[in-house]
Amino acid sequence: MANVKIVPLGGLGEVGKNMMCIEYGRNILVIDAGMMFPESDMPGVDYILPDWGYLRDKKDRIRAMLVTHGHQDHIGALPHFLEEFDVPVYATRLTRGLIEVRLEKSRQLDKVTLNTFAPGDVVNIGPFVVEPYHVCHSIPDTVGLGITTPAGLIVHTGDFKFDHTPVDGWPTDYAKLAEFSVRGVQVLLSDSTNADQPGNTPSEMVLNDAFHQIMREAPGRVIVATFSSLISRVQQVVDVAVSHGRKVAIAGKSMIENTEMARELGYLDIADDQLIELDRIGELPPREVLIMATGSQGEPMAVLSRLATGRHATLTIEPGDTVVLSSHTIPGNEEMTHAVINRLFRRGADVVYSPIANVHVSGHASQEEQKLLINLLNPRFFVPIHGELRHLKQHGKLARQAGIPEENIAVVENGCPLIFEGNRLVVGERIAGDHVYVDGALVGETGPRVIQERDDLSQSGFVVAVVRYDRKKGQAVGKPRILTHGFVFEPDSEDLLARAQDVARAAASVPPNTGEEKVEKEVEAALSRFFYRETKRRPVVTAAVVKS
Amino acid sequence: MANVKIVPLGGLGEVGKNMMCIEYGRNILVIDAGMMFPESDMPGVDYILPDWGYLRDKKDRIRAMLVTHGHQDHIGALPHFLEEFDVPVYATRLTRGLIEVRLEKSRQLDKVTLNTFAPGDVVNIGPFVVEPYHVCHSIPDTVGLGITTPAGLIVHTGDFKFDHTPVDGWPTDYAKLAEFSVRGVQVLLSDSTNADQPGNTPSEMVLNDAFHQIMREAPGRVIVATFSSLISRVQQVVDVAVSHGRKVAIAGKSMIENTEMARELGYLDIADDQLIELDRIGELPPREVLIMATGSQGEPMAVLSRLATGRHATLTIEPGDTVVLSSHTIPGNEEMTHAVINRLFRRGADVVYSPIANVHVSGHASQEEQKLLINLLNPRFFVPIHGELRHLKQHGKLARQAGIPEENIAVVENGCPLIFEGNRLVVGERIAGDHVYVDGALVGETGPRVIQERDDLSQSGFVVAVVRYDRKKGQAVGKPRILTHGFVFEPDSEDLLARAQDVARAAASVPPNTGEEKVEKEVEAALSRFFYRETKRRPVVTAAVVKS
């Protein structure tokens, strides 16, 4: 019996979100290579790669990298991946454009093979037939994948929603889904992001009313912040603004890059005379200005945060400005985003955000759409992907409600291969693997131990005691030095630190010929006890005992 | 003209949430003394006190501390406050009970004067007449305050909602509000927490359906986590569980303390034979067990988090268990809470939380209720309180919609006194003040500088170079020692750290008789450059140059 392996890779994040493999014999298709952003308990980490260690000894088997769409969590790890693996990439036109922008930055563009595929194409890759089909999502040119394998047809939704009135007029391809259904779908891998949201995700179109009201009523400039990859949102906001006689300025590096590229490729329709350079908006009355900007997550280096703290080179918030955050706040970013909103208010702007106004909708299917897809495709096996365990469990419940038998639903986490044998889907043995942290120039070297140390330091800082030590006498020489950082405010703590010198000195009073390492342990233990007693804090305490 | 000052105290948090003063001549009323919890950019801080420095030179003027209800953000700072100020406290019975629990812990109970007041009382305090009136909130026995001053009647809502079907059958006191209105309300200070939520906050009663469904369908034990102060939620869950034949066990220190106290005072009605000790639940069939637990915010030391990680002394999650999080996740706690939910699923529990089921409603009024209150009281001046600036601005907009003239609405932040002269309300000069951090035993000593140092440490850790130095020669003696923590994983970084020794040694090669401090600066600069070049990280680098 044909034996196809489906492997979601990555650490304990959203399952299969950043990378999945489909494997048959000595042939592997890889789907997406995205990055994750660090959570607040991963200090100092810049971003996270999925762990593709599983593929390292199978380099010659990888036939293709298939990319579903151009968001960072699906393409952000490509530069790192393509450095290790020389495989042809397949993507739609806009997605390819976004990949090219990234690869140009990392100077890899002339080293990799990029292929364009389009919805409706039928691409033969080794023993697989790959059929990308159009889906609605919060970026144009997103596809799901029909993958015919020797064990049957697998459908991978990518990120999707059913939007009957999408901004670009191009709904999810129902006909193709019906065709798959007629052919018989063996395994459905479906986006679980919104599995805890009842009902249907609203159409992008519902935002028009809110934007019309804002553009009409705003007494001055309107500044709309959103993700720079949300090309269709940019189109929508620009169309409404232009209809109210406003010209458009673009602010923020990624917003400029992405809108330029999308205009070149024809995915964003803004006439030249509707645009104005950011440094020339002063020539227009404020009521005739729209600024599209980055920073809707409160990111400290993006435009919105700079405006909120008065650190932008050319723009300053003025009373009469209206700022719109057209985005969902990613969990973990709430405090930063709220701080930016409060600061913008403090500078005199009016700030509009969800739920105050209807200025954002999700790009992912909610429960009713997820059930619709299951009924449309009528798959034999169901595998919820793209979500944390809580989303997958919920999506599994929905699939049961929609008639998939319990035993045909596989909820697995990253690293758990599913072995699909046509009439059976079994969970294989877990593959070792975890997050791969990118920390400055260090890829994969910063591990849980270092992260734990950073967390300890962030709680109470550190104290280093430098003790000159006469081993023959078993005594400190002179006063030990106490260095601290992040523990107490030194000018107010002279007395505490002076007493700590005495404590360190006393602890270094040991039998003659005691070794330095033992003295270091004594000093560390004595200082830890002393500081806890005096302050109820536990700084990281290190002693350096130096031969005198 | 009588001149009354209204002063919200605290740092940049929710305005007037934790403490407010009302001042007339040499008479001050203080309302509430709550604590704040630190945001994620305040590492190591345990909790935060409002800055009451303004009151320090006015000790003899404070006539009373009036407490609106028993939540931590309204009573949590009382032990610290009462240590400094010897003033009589006024609170309702349940609130007083919760205050006593706290004061007993800090051994202050016999040192302070506690008075019980009740809704409907008229209390003369100096030149003020204080009239507490009943409001609905997520804890019983909550009051708002009518305060008649020489300049007119001020109404302070405390935290409130309008619930027409509250669990305890006691709605907000509309008659009293109408009476205030007839007398003429000069200033309304109103809760803005939910000013960005359209419509009405649902009644507590709507949760009954969800809880009945859970208790009926759960195949085994049900574990409901909520705030231990949410006494009416506990009552509601227990009533539903008992009606389905379940007995109740209480888990978690604060849940045990608060339910005991509330039962004693008659605010929580659970018969003895409906309770069972936690360590005896094994004697019952799982379908006959309800456990009320702490930890709905994912707090690492509370019951739910211990269950999720298998660290609870007596309880273990088993397949068949149903866990309910009956609470709103406080912004900043999402990642922790989601991690707990995922872990509970991984251990085989079913987990129910909002928005999957209707298991929590807010305790604060939404927009329609806020407007209703304004129309009921018809105040001359309106001051939104209890919210971040974004909430206050939104509440101000609602007040304008409800007919309060723009010039009679005062949106101010903490530390901005409002001077109320009967027919005028003007904003006075800002009082110095900020957050007061409680960090172990250190109250107010940990400031922004130390917090910034901790943040730097959490990004890339530290490196300390200890260099023995011969001043006469201007040279290092032997190999410098390099200590690191939270920077790189040392076993993998031997080469990097060995080269760092060479860098430090070379930097300490200086003209003879160069001073130690100068050498330290040289070594620090050289190492910082070296590490950034090699790793693109910037650890905190400190050099200790020791005389040889």
Is A43 part of the contact surface with chain B (CB cutoff 8 Å)?
yes
Is residue A436 over pLDDT 90?
Answer: no
Q: What pLDDT is attached to residue B332?
A: 79
- Are B17 and B153 within one domain? yes
Backbone angles phi, psi at B33, to 5 degrees: -145, 80
Q: What pLDDT is attached to residue A190?
A: 98
Going by C-alpha positions, the residue among A122, A109, A114 that lies closest to residue A88 is A114
Backbone angles phi, psi at B306, to 5 degrees: -65, -40
Q: Cβ A44–B535 below 8 Å, yes or no?
A: no
Tens of pLDDT, residues A154-183: 999 999 999 999 988 899 999 999 999 999
- Are A211 and A186 within one domain? no
Q: What predicted TM-score, i.e. pTM, was given to this entire model?
A: 0.89
Is residue B229 over pLDDT 90?
Answer: no
Domain count, chain B: 3
pLDDT tier at B13, thresholds 50, 70, 90: confident
Q: What pLDDT is attached to residue A333?
A: 85
Is residue A37 over pLDDT 90?
Answer: no
Is residue B40 over pLDDT 80?
Answer: no
CATH number where B487 lies: 3.10.20.580
Average pLDDT, chain B: 94
Going by C-alpha positions, the residue among B290, B200, B277, B282 that lies closest to residue B244 is B290
Q: Considering Cα of A318, then A324, then A329, then A334, what sign does the dihedral take?
A: positive
Structure tokens at B480: 């410098």
The predicted model gives A245-269 an average pLDDT of 95
Is residue A2 over pLDDT 90?
Answer: no
**Strand partners of residue B114:** B89
Q: Cβ A460–B440 below 8 Å, yes or no?
A: yes
**DSSP output for A36-84:** BPPPTTSTT--EEE---GGGGGGGGGEEEEE----SHHHHTTHHHHHHH
- Are B472 and B332 within one domain? no
d(CA B47, CA B44): 9
Q: Which residues contact A388 (CB under 8 A, 6 or more apart)?
A: A13, A14, A15, B338, B342
Q: What pLDDT is attached to residue B443?
A: 86
Q: Which residues contact B494 (CB under 8 A, 6 or more apart)?
A: none
Is residue A387 situated within a structural domain? Answer: yes
Least confident interval from A477-491, B267-281, B517-531: A477-491
- Of residues A227 and A190, which shows the higher confidence score? A190
- Percent of chain A residues topping a pLDDT of 90: 83
- Are B162 and B240 within one domain? no
The predicted model gives B416-438 an average pLDDT of 89
- Helix (H/G/I), strand (E/B), else coil: A203: coil
Q: In angstroms, what CA-CA distances link A400 with A69, A192, A375, B322?
A: 29, 14, 11, 18
Are B225 and B130 contacting, i.e. CB atoms less than 8 angstroms apart?
no
d(CA A364, CA A202): 10
Are A289 and A275 contacting, i.e. CB atoms less than 8 angstroms apart?
no
Structure tokens at A372: 């619709």
User: Domain residues for A316?
Assistant: 204-353
d(CA A178, CA A184): 10
- Are A278 and A182 within one domain? no
Q: What pLDDT is attached to residue A490?
A: 80
Tens of pLDDT, residues B15-30: 999 999 999 999 999 9
Per the annotation, the verdict on A364 as an active-site residue is yes
Q: In angstroms, what CA-CA distances link B247 with A238, B257, B259?
A: 60, 19, 15
Is residue B455 situated within a structural domain? Answer: no
Is residue A411 over pLDDT 70?
Answer: yes
**CB-CB: which of B439, B489, B547 is closest to A447?**
B489
Q: Which residues contact B503 (CB under 8 A, 6 or more apart)?
A: B526, B527, B530
- Helix (H/G/I), strand (E/B), else coil: A395: helix
Is residue B87 situated within a structural domain? Answer: yes
Is residue B451 situated within a structural domain? Answer: no
Are B17 and B34 contacting, i.e. CB atoms less than 8 angstroms apart?
yes
Is residue B319 over pLDDT 90?
Answer: yes
The predicted model gives B197-226 an average pLDDT of 96
Going by C-alpha positions, the residue among A408, A441, A436, A419 that lies closest to residue A19 is A436
pLDDT tier at A449, thresholds 50, 70, 90: confident
**DSSP output for A222-243:** EEEE--TT-HHHHHHHHHHHHH
Going by C-alpha positions, the residue among B204, B211, B207, B206 that lies closest to residue B322 is B211
The 10 Å CB-count burial string (b at 16+, else e) for B364-394 is: bbbbebbbbbbebbebbbbbbbbbbbbbbbb
Backbone angles phi, psi at A478, to 5 degrees: 70, -170
Q: What pLDDT is attached to residue B492?
A: 83
**CB-CB: which of A355, A449, A462 is closest to B457?**
A462
pLDDT tier at A548, thresholds 50, 70, 90: confident
Please state whether beta strands A89-91 and A475-476 pair in parallel, antiparallel, or not at all (unpaired).
unpaired
- Are A123 and A9 within one domain? yes
- Helix (H/G/I), strand (E/B), else coil: B492: helix
Is B124 part of the contact surface with chain A (CB cutoff 8 Å)?
no
Q: Which residues contact B239 (CB under 8 A, 6 or more apart)?
A: none
The predicted model gives B513-539 an average pLDDT of 95
The predicted model gives A212-224 an average pLDDT of 97
CATH number where A119 lies: 3.60.15.10
**CB-CB: which of B390, B441, B457 is closest to A457?**
B457
Q: Considering Cα of B84, then B87, then B88, then B89, what sign does the dihedral take?
A: negative
Is residue A17 situated within a structural domain? Answer: yes
Those of residues 366-395 in B touching chain A at CB distance below 8 A are: 388-390, 393-394
**CB-CB: which of B44, B457, B536 is closest to A454?**
B457
**DSSP output for B74-110:** HHTTHHHHHHH----EEE-HHHHHHHHHHHHHTT-GG
- Are A337 and A404 within one domain? no
A522: left (phi over 0), alpha (psi -120 to 50) or beta: alpha
- Are A417 and A500 within one domain? no
Is residue A12 over pLDDT 80?
Answer: no
- Percent of chain A residues topping a pLDDT of 70: 100
Are B205 and B165 contacting, i.e. CB atoms less than 8 angstroms apart?
yes
The predicted model gives B200-205 an average pLDDT of 94
Is residue A344 situated within a structural domain? Answer: yes
Domain limit, last residue, from A310, A328, A353: A353
Q: Cβ A454–B459 below 8 Å, yes or no?
A: yes
Q: Which residues contact B481 (CB under 8 A, 6 or more apart)?
A: A544, A546, B465, B466, B467, B501
Q: What pLDDT is attached to residue B1?
A: 61
Is residue A239 over pLDDT 70?
Answer: yes
The 10 Å CB-count burial string (b at 16+, else e) for B461-470 is: bbbbbbbbbe
Q: Cβ B537–A442 below 8 Å, yes or no?
A: yes
Is residue A90 over pLDDT 90?
Answer: yes
CATH number where B343 lies: 3.40.50.10710
Is A265 part of the contact surface with chain B (CB cutoff 8 Å)?
no
Are A32 and A402 contacting, i.e. CB atoms less than 8 angstroms apart?
no
Least confident interval from A353-362, A433-442, B24-33, B249-258: A433-442
- Are B193 and B297 within one domain? no
Q: Closest-CA residue in chain A for B44?
A: A459
d(CA A152, CA B160): 59
B188 membership: H or E segment, kind and range: strand B185-191
Q: In angstroms, what CA-CA distances link A87 with A61, A90, A112, A138, A274?
A: 10, 10, 8, 28, 41
Chain A: give the shortest CA distance to residue B174, in Å: 28
- Helix (H/G/I), strand (E/B), else coil: B198: coil
Q: Closest-CA residue in chain B for A439?
A: B537
Among residues B191, B321, B350, B439, which one is catalytic? B191
- Are A296 and A260 within one domain? yes
Is residue B445 over pLDDT 90?
Answer: no
Are A323 and A308 contacting, i.e. CB atoms less than 8 angstroms apart?
no
d(CA A440, CA A213): 44
Q: Considering Cα of B402, then B407, then B408, then B409, what sign does the dihedral take?
A: positive
Q: What pLDDT is attached to residue B114?
A: 97
Is residue A12 situated within a structural domain? Answer: yes
Is residue A449 situated within a structural domain? Answer: no
- Are A492 and A421 within one domain? no
Per the annotation, the verdict on B191 as an active-site residue is yes
Q: What pLDDT is attached to residue B39?
A: 79
Backbone angles phi, psi at A307, to 5 degrees: -65, -40
Is residue A40 over pLDDT 80?
Answer: no
List, in sequence order, the alpha helices (H) in B106-189: 174-183
Q: What pLDDT is attached to residue A435?
A: 80
Residue type, B304: L
Angle between helices B494-507 and B516-535 (to 10 degrees): 150
Is A440 part of the contact surface with chain B (CB cutoff 8 Å)?
yes
Chain A: give the shortest CA distance to residue B543, in Å: 9
The predicted model gives B120-136 an average pLDDT of 97
- Are A538 and A418 within one domain? no
The predicted model gives A27-41 an average pLDDT of 91
d(CA B154, CA A310): 38
d(CA A294, CA B372): 38
d(CA B509, CA B502): 11
- Helix (H/G/I), strand (E/B), else coil: A543: strand
Tens of pLDDT, residues A297-334: 999 889 999 999 999 999 999 999 999 999 988 877 88
Structure tokens at A234: 């940019």
Is residue A394 over pLDDT 80?
Answer: yes
Q: What pLDDT is attached to residue A506?
A: 96
Is residue B11 over pLDDT 80?
Answer: no
Is residue A341 over pLDDT 90?
Answer: yes
DSSP at B39: P
Is residue A1 over pLDDT 70?
Answer: no
Domain limit, last residue, from A301, A332, A353: A353
The predicted model gives B429-433 an average pLDDT of 86
**DSSP output for A247-279:** EEEEESHHHHHHHHHHHHTTSS---GGGB--GG
Match 């309008």 to its residue by tokens: B162
Chain B: give the shortest CA distance to residue A458, in Å: 5
Structure tokens at A456: 């300890």
Backbone angles phi, psi at B314, to 5 degrees: -120, -20
Domain limit, last residue, from A304, A324, A353: A353
